[in-house]
Structure 1
Amino acid sequence: MEQITIDSIDIQLLEQLQNDASLSNQALAARVHISPPTCLRRVKRLRDGGLIEREIAVLSVDKLSVVAGHGLCAIVEITLDRQDNDALEAFEKRVATDDAVQQCYRVSPGPDFCLVVHAAHMPDYLTLAQRLFTSDANVRNVKTFFSIKRSKFGARVPLPLRVEVGSP
């Protein structure tokens, strides 16, 4: 993968998009003080370079749970019996395709994985646990923590205020 070079304008664009990805190109250009064509070209370059993976809507889990379920959030630690690369990748691949798994991290030291999962209620979580953990002979240990309150949630990456020319 080719390494992309960014400058302070790119940092400002990324910062603005992290805060509100729904901004029109014209509004984004005005906030960063560049022309709309330049803005469009730079954002395309940032997307093509992989710095912007995707743009999503962040839903209110609390409000959505009232109308659609998914009121149960759990942080799950998983330890596997075998930690060879094939076993780790097989587990990652299986949980990545499950809609209930919001996030999956391979971690060290301690458990092999930490997952953030959402379920409508406890019986739904039990079904999820059986589907993803109990049925996998390589899963040695599962430790689940249930969230009682979400104090903070975000996907914002802290960015430097400025970058040196030529910095990756």
Structure 2
Amino acid sequence: MFAMRNDALDKFDLKLLELMQQDAQRPVAAIAEAVGLSVPACYRRMRRLRASGAIEREVAVVRPKTLGWPLSMIVLVTLEREDTRTMDAMMAQLRAEPEVIEAWNVTGDFDVAVKMIARDMESYDDTVRRLFLVNERVRTFQTLVVIRQLKDGSPIPVAAD
């Protein structure tokens, strides 16, 4: 699916997106009232936003500590080569790793940034050895251990025209 262009979104769509980012479990009737639409009209718009890809997905965000993952790290990786085959293989490996919860191909001094979690430093070390130390695709990597999360996955700002 392709996401809707921003200029295809009217003020009702923008308000729906703003409210749904705050609480996707909010009853449709409450959203409809806040937006100024009837419940059926609101429901149709929400369904269209989902179908178009404007709403990528709706999930429950669970704190890693709740499930026994108290450590978070950002790992910055420089690859041995900057070609499509190397990047595709690295990203496939990262996607398959449960401890890797986000990964990005980035610009600058590093090629890949990885957000990962660990149960303890020993399990982190095991994962890093497997993913980066013995990986022929990796030239260097640097780990930043997260001390405290200052801001979590915040809503995307909704621009009002």
Q: Decide: shared fold, TM above 0.5.
A: yes
Q: TM-score, with normalisation over the residues of structure 2?
A: 0.91
Contact 1:69 1:121 in 2 (8 A): no
State how far apart, in whole Å, the 2-side matches of 1:89 and 1:3 are.
Answer: 24
Paired residues, number: 158
State how far apart, in whole Å, the 1-side matches of 2:2 and 2:101 are.
Answer: 29
Change (3 A) 1:146 1:2: closer
Gaps (5+ residues) in structure 2?
none
Q: TM-score, with normalisation over the residues of structure 1?
A: 0.87
What value does the CA root-mean-square deviation take over the aligned residues? Answer: 1.5
Q: Look up the match of 2:134.
A: 135
Gaps (5+ residues) in structure 1?
163-168
Q: Give CA-to-partner distance per residue, 1:95-140, whole Å, 9 cap, x none.
A: 1122211111111011001111011110110111122212321111
Q: Look up the match of 1:165.
A: none
Q: Look up the match of 1:83.
A: 82
Q: Look up the match of 2:109.
A: 110
**Any residues of structure 2 matched to 1:1-168 within 5 Å, and which?**
4=4, 5-62=8-65, 64=66, 68-162=67-161
Which fold has the larger relative contact order, with Cα–Cα distance below 8 Å and residues 6 or more apart in sequence? 1
Tell me which stretches of 4 or more aligned residues in structure 1 moved more than 3 Å.
none
- Percent identity for Structure 1 against Structure 2: 33
Q: CA deviation at 1:59?
A: 2.1
Q: CA deviation at 1:90?
A: 1.6
